[in-house]
Chain A
């Protein structure tokens, strides 16, 4: 890991005007929880799953991961200014991992963090439940970052492919075709969260728990490898 690379990645995320886009989604998540609590007058029993699991784990978390991951690695590669980081006697894998680490930390803090806060607002008496969702979201958020790194290495339009994965593959197809849950990061997160608190069992699905953990780790390892490889093969192209 290289602290300077990570610091620059963090500065590039929050040093530019688009930082508010990153915090808009988590704020929306928390705002929704507050709204539900106020409108239901404290009777939030049935709202936990739609607000936290469907909206939070299913939408806010992957979108935050997508924005952060493409923001950390995408623009510098696209406009070629990553040569300033790569023209240094530092392994390209270290550069990639340092950037991916920032993406993961920011995703966990903003994405999983906002889910914990929203969970505590909805069910203040059940902090264990909010924490369980938070841990599931942290694992899923990490795997999302790695998955999006791979998608943007495969396609020039990583952002679009990532959106299609979240909205079409996970949002639509995986809910109809049960077998696809084995390829759905969101399903890994739900399974892990479900295993940590008995009240969350209904959301867990029937994925084997060991599979959810191992698949998340495999995605993470593959993402690290792909990102490092992409940077070590990075070519500066001329105008011709």
Chain B
């Protein structure tokens, strides 16, 4: 049972702040580190794995600082996003080298065990350069698992992995979390995180935007005010009518035609708009959400 703790951790490069005053506690189970690209996820994982000194604040594993402390790697397994440029080794040689570097008493047995966990025993004697993206991801995971670490850190583990292998990796992470390991993985895809992580930390533009149970964050995301662009046969009248609906908090006539509608309750709005249009004999030509991108979801979370 290991706990990674960040306390008021910041990291900047010159004038650019990559991580801004983040505090979080990551305990046993699967935690998803969610955020758009460039949010600082890799920087956070680098600091958690002792490969980056925090500019301010601390990063500790069970109370010990992780920066410049190689003994933490006895309990940490790291799966970086970067490809292992060890294409000239076979999968087995690569995992075994990792076992030897951990000075395990039985590196051969540990290698076989790790290869079995990721189901790579069969292609293990082929060169890594011949592997698919998913197989490389699994061999990296085997290398990180070879010393049976209590903490597993994975940077974008599902990037570029085909759906079947992704399912398999997800099952593996879920199992690792269930065994009481502290598993943290980063992703910019909400659906990936949703499937396996019970606990979620959201980072946006280097700031810690939200933290907690997935359900609570999902509700925050779906209950946020949405903006729709509606085009109709009579925009001005539609705007008047919509303003009377409970689910609408504001309307604005667009200069190039159409009505911009701010909606507080997406579900109620979806039911109300066709009914109101029919009642007032207005024909709807277009209803489009204008800010469905993940970035806007994240931006909302930051301001919340």
- A235 in contact with B46 given A79-B85, A87-B78, A88-B98 (CB within 8 Å): yes
A5 on the interface (CB 8 Å rule)? yes
Does A240 contact B70, Cβ atoms closer than 8 Å?
no
Looking at A7, A236, A238, which has the most chain B CB atoms within 10 Å of its CB? A238
Does A238 contact B18, Cβ atoms closer than 8 Å?
yes
B157 on the interface (CB 8 Å rule)? no
Q: Kindly list chain A residues whose C-beta atoms are within 8 Å of the C-beta of B83.
A: 79, 81
Q: Which of B99-107, B207-215, B240-248, B289-297 contacts its partner? A: B99-107
Give the docked Cα–Cα distance between A92 and B103 (Å).
Answer: 15
- Chain B interface residue bracket vs A: 35 or more
- A113 CB → nearest B CB, Å: 24
Q: Is the interface of A mostly helix, strand, loop or mixed?
A: loop
Q: How many residues of A contact B (CB 8 A)?
A: 32
- B205 CB → nearest A CB, Å: 10
Does A4 contact B80, Cβ atoms closer than 8 Å?
no
Does B80 contact A85, Cβ atoms closer than 8 Å?
no
Seed contacts A16-B88, A87-B78, A88-B98; 19 additional CB < 8 Å A-B pairs? A4-B100, A12-B86, A75-B85, A79-B82, A81-B82, A83-B78, A84-B98, A87-B49, A88-B70, A89-B70, A89-B103, A90-B103, A91-B70, A236-B49, A238-B43, A238-B46, A239-B42, A240-B18, A240-B40
**What are 8 residue pairs bridging A and B, where the CB atoms are less than 8 Å apart in the complex?**
A4-B100, A5-B101, A7-B97, A11-B89, A87-B78, A237-B52, A238-B41, A238-B43
Binding site for A on B (CB under 8 A): 13, 16, 18, 37-43, 46, 49-53, 68, 70-74, 76, 78, 80, 82-89, 97-98, 100-103, 143, 206
Binding site for B on A (CB under 8 A): 2, 4-5, 7-8, 11-12, 15-16, 75-76, 79-81, 83-92, 232, 234-240
